[in-house]
Amino acid sequence: MTRGAAARDGGFALVAALTALLLFALMAYTVLAADQGATAGAQAQMQRARLEAAADGALATAIAGLGASDARRWAIGGRPRDVEIDGVQTTIVIEDERGKVPLNRLQPTQARRLLQAAGVAGPRLDALTDSLLSWQDGFSRDHNATLLDYAADDVRPRGALFVTVGELAAVKGMTPALLDRLAPVLTVFPGNGAFMPQAASPLALAAMTETGAEGPDAIIRARELAGQRAKLDTATESYVGRVVTVHVTARAPGGGALDRSAVVELTGNAHRPFWVRATD
């Protein structure tokens, strides 16, 4: 073998060796990356499980506080409460459903005021108001969407009361943006008693009061919600038959959050102090 041939053979061997090393390094990196990915996935699952447990614990804490029979009883509609559950910070907000617009009890004038206060106007206001009311009772009105209008979207109007607030999305003319604005002030669980203005938002007041969004009640309530005055403390009132929504946000120390909510009816019965009407 000549010196040149030997050098070529040595060069080929070096290339082969480097290629083998490169392939080995690539395989090792792939295995390591897969292990790290699996570890990261497991850690994410553990963090979510921890947040879920903390959120559920906060819900239980709030419901127990509402069901207390002494001075420790939590107020409905109070300001947000921060509660630590097993090292996780949670924020609890309790909403009185009597301060929301009762979707299934809306009178035509109230439905129109609600949509108008939410920014709907002109012919769309006429059509959406009539379509909302017709969805509930099945009666035909001057401007409501017809069965043929709904058939184009493969939707059949219920002709009965709304089961959930989210069902509004199926009403002809409703948009996601409008529903996002309306949903927080609506309820299908009003509970016992009349609408409670002092627990309502300005948009709810606009629908449920004749003075609307520009009335004194709405203005005062907007100021309260802005922190200019403490919200009404209803801890001294009877909770029997009251329905509330408990919202919980659990936050991980290193970032990330999880939301939980439950609609709860308070019974006043010591053996069964509450019913859970809905969860999210």
pLDDT of 227 over the 60 cut: no
> How many angstroms from the chain centroid is the CA of residue 212?
26
Convert the pLDDT of each residue in 166-179 to its tens digit.
999 999 999 999 99
CA distances from 182 to 72, 199, 201, 276 (A): 34, 16, 11, 23
Q: Is pLDDT at 232 greater than 50 in this prediction?
A: no
Amino acid at residue number 33: A
- For residue 105, pLDDT over 80 is answered with yes
Kindly report whether the global pTM for this prediction surpasses the value 0.85: no
1 has pLDDT over 70: no
pLDDT in tens, 114-173: 999 999 999 999 999 999 999 999 999 999 999 999 999 999 999 999 999 999 999 999
Query: In the CATH hierarchy, which fold is given to the domain comprising 104-184?
Result: Ribonucleotide Reductase Protein R1; domain 1 (1.10.40)
Using one digit for the tens of pLDDT, what is the confidence trace for 193-209? 789 888 889 999 999 98
Sequence ranges of the domains in the chain:
1-100+190-280, 104-184
Q: Check whether 8 has a pLDDT greater than 50.
A: no
DSSP 8-state class, residue 144: P
User: Are 114 and 202 contacting, i.e. CB atoms less than 8 angstroms apart?
Assistant: no
Q: Which amino acid is at 273?
A: P
User: Is 150:169 a contact under the CB 8 Å cutoff?
Assistant: no
